[in-house]
Every structure is written in structure tokens, then in C-alpha cells.
Structure 1
Amino acid sequence: MSPRSRLEDVLVPYEDAIVALGRDGDMVEYPDDVPADRIVGTIGRAGDFDGAFRLRNRALQQRWDAVAEAMAHPRAPVPRVDLIRLGEMYFVVDGHHRVSVARTRGHLVVPARVRRVCTVAYAMACLRAAHLPSKAAEREFLLRVPLPDQVRTDLWLDRAADWMRLADAAEAWGFREALRGEPGLDRPTLATRWWEHEVAPLVEHLRAAGVGVGLRDVQLYAAATAVRDGRGTGEWPCGLTG
């Protein structure tokens, strides 16, 4: 098994995720029935369950069996599990065994109490431990180029280095705009203008030509500018053709 495959087969540690994504404030706690497949992380129990919440620590088998029996024949309502939400991901604070039993039995939702934590970089449902270095680089990019929230939710690049090149490109664009007579703009305004006047038109042009099917806007823009600036192979990368 490759190192990346091993990382995808473990629960995402909350502590690692929040460092990579960047904490940006909390929201209120609320009850919710959470999609079971969105519960992909943990606080402090990464060694006890695998990435699908199957039991790994056999010393806990007796406890798991007791929870499974209690959930199958409840004498009282089963308490909601406690979760923290980052974007589209959920991390178990309390109730790991209940989540494991629910996932094993194919439950589609898990009753929970949820506390949402906002982050600088957005956590998509597909995010796993293997992706955290790239998300950490995305967080650094967003501190330099603070794009609006509606753009952040669809950002994804596989390689951390691509985020740094993208930040350099955005700041260079902002410098050129200042030379054209737009001095003194704050970073959020420049970031929004860069996306609207530089990224979006190029992406729209490429998509109209049938290029970049299946890629997110930021992936298409990064690949196109790499080819334009001579950092690519001179050909469109795999997946960048119509």
C-alpha cells in the first residue's frame, strides 16, 4: 500500500485539519442528522478506527459489541453523538463507537449535536489526511489573496507548490493594476478583481473551446498559466482537453 493510500485509510485528525485549514471563528451548536459518510475525522481516536470507522483496536471489541447491542435494542433514546463540523467534514468528539456501529449497519444519517468551526481554507467532503499539506498551502495563499467565500468553497489544487505560484501570479496582477492607476486597493478588493477580471475570463474562454472538462476553475487556470508561462510540458496536462 502506498503512503497516500495509507493516509486515505485513516480518520482525519481534527488537530491536523484545523492547523492546515486555519481556524477562523466558531458558530453556534445545533442538533442535526448528519450524513454518515461525511463523518470522516476524530479528536484523539485516529488509532482506534480506520477511515471508514471500522474498529481497528481489538481491545475495544467488547465495548463495541455492547454499544451495538444497546443501539439494536434501545431501552431509551440513543444519545446524539458530539461532532465538530469543518466545511463539509465532521469530526467525532464523543460517540466514536456509535458512529462505527451506525456506519457498519449502513445507516445513512447519524443523530448529532454539531458545533461548526469556520476555517480559512474550505474543507470539502472528499478531504483526507493526504490532502492536508495542499490545504495548508491553500490557507497561506488565501492569507495573501483573500478571495470571497463563494469562491473559496470550490478551490482545490493537488500540489502545495501550485498555490504559491498562484499567489505570486495574483500579486503580480495586482501590482500591474496599481501601475495602471488603481493604487491603494486593499487585498480583498484586489483578490476579488483578480478573480473576476483575470481568472474568470480565461476560464470562460477555455471552457467555450471545450478545454478543461471535469476540472475546477482554479485547476484549469493554474494549468493554463503553467503552459503559458513555460512551466508545463508545452502540452495540456491529462484531463485538460475537451
Structure 2
Amino acid sequence: MFPDQYNFQLAINDFQSARLKAGIQEVLARITGKSTQLLSYEEVAEKLKLRSRTERGIQHIPLNAIVGSVGRYTDFTRTFLPRSDKDRERWSRVKAAFVGSNASLPPIEAYKVGEAYFVVDGNHRVSIARQEGLLSIEGRVIEFKTDIPLTPNVQPDDLIIKAEYAEFLDTTRIHESRPNVDLSVTSCCQYEKLMEQIQICQYVMQEERRQEIPIRDAAANWYDTIYIPLAEAIRDRGLLRWFPNRTITDLFLWISENRAALEKELGWEIQSDIAATDLILEESAKSEPGSWRKAHMVARYTDHLFTDLLVPLSGFKESWDALDQALIIAKHENAKLHGLHIVETIDDAHSSDSLGVKARFDQTCAEAGVEGNLAIDVGDITTRICERAVLTDLIVVKITNPPTAGISALQSPFRKIIEKSSRPLLTIPEEARPFKRALLAFDGSDRAKEALFVATYLAEMWKTELVVFTALDSPQLKADAQDHVRRYLDLHEVEAEYIVSDRGATEHLKQTADENNIDLVLMGGYGGSKLQQVFIGSALDYMLRESNIPIFICR
């Protein structure tokens, strides 16, 4: 057999092997749902509105970046395996010539779009080069400019999204006014939602300025004032790690849609983008100890710590103490108040008593110059408070039925709010206080470190005097338990008084607070097992029962 005939026979065998691989790939594609189809350049050019072209000359083209073909996209798989037996002769001749000449393959011709390439001439050469395990091939390249990120891993179904993005950019021209913008999404029909927001922004701008506003100007305004603040919150909080294979714009739309639904359901205007992102964190992190501090770390140093306050109001005379305290905080923090009145039935919600609570709330906020609104809700008190708390930074609540001693304490509704709430609570036993002097109960736990975080903020921003109290009533607590507090406060240039007690925390904490003219106690929520809390007693439960000082409870 002549060498050419021998090489041709080997090439035919290779073709048959390649055909078998192509068949296996197509079977696997049906299972995985990931297409093995090459992309059609004509379809891509139409969807992405390709116009401008530039000659790039001879270049080395990465073979795995070739994703489509001009005219022959049905003849090969995505990895350029032959899909039809009718290609056997031509494929084998090219392969035999390549092996026989012992030279490199002649350059192909290709179009480049983004980071992807489409073969104009040389499909068989690409196929053979890939089967030979080559990494690149020479080719004459013509590049088509596109503002759409097209990568080698793009799937046929992705073209619908890419086309929608191209149309969106063509309409808004936002890539021109805001270079390097990336509004990529992973599912179709999302750009219609973005356009709705931009059109609303356009309408508002026209009403305010009394003149026509071009859609591109409205898009730029929407991007700067609406998209970027929430996108930065998503990025800063690392929320994408909870949603693999999704984009920032995906999450932006999800939060926007759910925030609108929440506003409708709750009767509150949710202005804080941070509160909206907390809805996601609530599902992912389950609000473990320390999550509130981490979520508010940026605001701690750049803004106010408490921008939205939840104030449950029963309507009874004593419950208004909580509103008085919330007003003091709101004025310091420039915060918004969210009143909550919970009733048993829908009829109760429309009663004169409920409407009277709302009228008094509105009048009190107006007289104090504080923004606030009150929602009337139906259902279980504990559940409703915990649900609404997610949208705020702090719960300010009047304590009327504190947990009792013994096992019955575990059934206390107030205790359940402390345990289930994802936000800290400020309990008000009597009248409102100005927080001039605070006592931090520190035992080294994660919840106590949350309290230290708040206490330091009050000392810095409110100029609150600080006393640190530690009771060495646990084998785990040593005399150096307050060293962490000292280092933390020194770092923030905050001075404090330090008290270490070898007596039990339960009674000595209250005594220390009384003797030092304290008007706010900060401490962690429940720790240890429930059996310990029942039989040994809980310092927090004792303070809630016996002290007349507001208690800031961190979870």
C-alpha cells in the first residue's frame, strides 16, 4: 500500500472514531441539557446587530475559543467533531494530507466577536487540529465590534439574552454614558424589567423638570441613583456567594421585585437598600450570632447605625413609653420609625381603637419632626414582630410581661421574640431615658461582642459614658476576660470604667447598674443550654424582671 493510501486509510479510521465521539457527546447533551451545537454566525450577527469590522491579519486563534461557523454550523459539534458520514471523504483527505506533509495546517479564515471566533473557511482544518490535540491554529481574523460580552462558553439559548441585552444597550446607550457598565443577566425577559424602571425614572424627571428627557439621560440617572447603590450593597456584602452562577443584576432585579411585594404586603415604604439585602442574608446565614454586626459594619463607620426602628404598640397607655424612647433614638440617628399595631381579626384592624392608635402615632411623630408610619397587622404577635423586624435595624418595645423564673420562663412570648428575632431589641420597662451612661455586661461570648460593638458606637457617636462589667461566675471566665474589651475600646479611642465581680452576675449586675447611675444596660441574648437557664437562672431574665433600666439585647 502506498504511503498516501496508508495515511488515507488511517484518516478514515480516525474519522470513524471522531463520529463515534460525536454521537456520545450528543447523547450526553440530552442528559445534561448543555447544547453541543455550533453557533450560527448569521444568527449571532443579526441578534447582536454586528456592523463595524476591522481586519486583524494573521493571528494564533485558541481552538477552544472557536464556537461557530459561517454556513456550516450544522456539520460539526461544538468541539468540531463531524456529525455526518457524508463528510468522511473530505475530512479524511484533509487529515491524510496534513499527516503526509508533516507540516502545519494552512491558515483558516475566521470572524472574531468578543472573545469568540466563527470559521469562515477551514472547518475541516479546525476539526482535525482539535482531534490532534493542538491548542491553537493560525488564521486570518476579521473582528466585529460588539458591546455585548461574548465568551467561548456561550450556549445557543444564551443568544436570546445577548440579543435582549444588545437591544437594551441600543435603546439606552448606557454603555456610552457609563463606560464599562455590566448589566449581564442569566435569564431572558429581564431587560424589559430594567426598561420599566428607567421609563418610570424618565417620567419622574420630566414631571420635575417640566421638559422632555431623552431615554439615554433617564437611563444614566437610573443607573447612578437606583442601580449602583443597591449593586454596591450586593457586592460589598458578598451576596453572590450565596447565589452561584448569578450576576449582580440578577440579584438587583430579585430584590427590587420582592421589595415591591413586601411594601404592598406590609404597608411600609422600604427605603433602605440594606434592609432589602438583609432578606437574602436571612435565608442564607440564618442570622447566626455576629451576622448583624457584620451586616452593619460599613454603616457603623460611614453613616448612622440605626436608620429604621420597629416600635410595636399595644394601644395601652404604657406602650407609648416605647415610642418616646424610639423618638429619642430617631432624632440622634436621623431614623425612620415603623410603628406596628397587631390585632386578632380583620374587623379589629378597622376598629376605632386601632385607628386611634394610628392617629396618635402619626401626630406624635409629626410633633417631634420624625418621619414615621404605622402598620396595623393581624396575627400572632411574636411572629409578626419577628417578620417585620427583618426590615429594620432595631426593635424598641415596652416590656410588660417579662419572663418569670423557672421552667415557665421558656414559654414566655417575650422570650420567644428575643430568641427568634434577627435584630437586637431595646426593652423599655418604665419611662424613656437619654442614654447618658451605659453599662456593658461582657462575658466574652459572641453575643456580648455584639453588645460591645453597639456600646462603642454609642460612646463615640452619642458621647455616652461607658462602664464595663464582668462577673467571674463561670469556670470559663478568668480575670483577663476584659482584655478584649480594653483592646477594642483603645483602638476606637474610647475610655471606660471597668468592674470585675467575683459574685454572681444575676443580682450583682443590677446592683452595679443602680449604684453607677446607669440609664442603659447592654448585654447579649440567651446563651448556654435551656436547662442551665432554668435551674441556674438567666441574668437577662432577672434584669428584665427586676430592673427599671432599658436593656439593649444583642443576639
Q: TM-score category by the smaller chain?
A: 0.7 to 0.9
Deviation at residue 15 of structure 1 after TM alignment: 1.1
Unaligned 5+ residue runs, structure 2?
A: 1-28, 263-275, 286-555
Instruction: Provide the rounded CA distance (Å) in 1 between the counterparts of 2:172 and 2:51.
Output: 16
Aligned residues: 236
Q: How does 1:1-242 map to 2 (within 5 A)?
A: 2=30, 5=33, 8-74=35-101, 78-119=105-146, 121-148=148-175, 150-151=179-180, 154-181=182-209, 183-213=211-241, 214=244, 215-230=246-261, 236=280
Aligned-residue identity in percent: 24
Instruction: Provide the rounded CA distance (Å) in 2 between the counterparts of 1:4 and 1:188.
Output: 41
Q: Structure 1 residues 222 and 4 mapped into 2: Cα distance closer, same or farther (>3 Å)?
A: farther
TM-score by length of 2: 0.39
SS at match of 2:80: coil
Deviation at residue 202 of structure 1 after TM alignment: 0.8
Moved more, 129-138 or 213-222: 213-222
Asked whether the 8 Å contact 1:13–1:43 carries over to 2, the reply is: yes
Instruction: Provide the rounded CA distance (Å) in 2 between the counterparts of 1:20 and 1:146.
Output: 17
Deviation at residue 56 of structure 1 after TM alignment: 0.8
1:120-160 deviation digits (Å, cap 9, x = unpaired): 534233222121222222222222222216445x4432332
Instruction: Provide the rounded CA distance (Å) in 1 between the counterparts of 2:51 and 2:209.
Output: 33
Asked whether the 8 Å contact 1:148–1:192 carries over to 2, the reply is: no
Asked whether the 8 Å contact 1:138–1:160 carries over to 2, the reply is: no
Amino acid of the residue matched to residue 61 of structure 1? R
1:20-64 deviation digits (Å, cap 9, x = unpaired): 111232222422111111101011112210111101121112221
Instruction: Provide the rounded CA distance (Å) in 1 between the counterparts of 2:210 and 2:42.
Output: 41
Deviation at residue 72 of structure 1 after TM alignment: 3.1
* CA RMSD, Structure 1 to Structure 2 (Å): 2.9
Rg bigger for which structure? 2
TM-score by length of 1: 0.83
Q: Structure 1 residues 78 and 186 mapped into 2: Cα distance closer, same or farther (>3 Å)?
A: same
Unaligned 5+ residue runs, structure 1?
A: none
Deviation at residue 99 of structure 1 after TM alignment: 0.6
Instruction: Provide the rounded CA distance (Å) in 1 between the counterparts of 2:239 and 2:104.
Output: 53
Deviation at residue 223 of structure 1 after TM alignment: 2.1
Asked whether the 8 Å contact 1:34–1:110 carries over to 2, the reply is: yes
Q: Which has the higher contact order (CA 8 A, sep 6+)?
A: 1
Instruction: Provide the rounded CA distance (Å) in 2 between the counterparts of 1:74 and 1:155.
Output: 49
Deviation at residue 226 of structure 1 after TM alignment: 2.2
Deviation at residue 236 of structure 1 after TM alignment: 4.7
Q: Structure 1 residues 78 and 224 mapped into 2: Cα distance closer, same or farther (>3 Å)?
A: same
Instruction: Provide the rounded CA distance (Å) in 1 between the counterparts of 2:76 and 2:201.
Output: 47
1:167-191 deviation digits (Å, cap 9, x = unpaired): 1112222332344449555444443
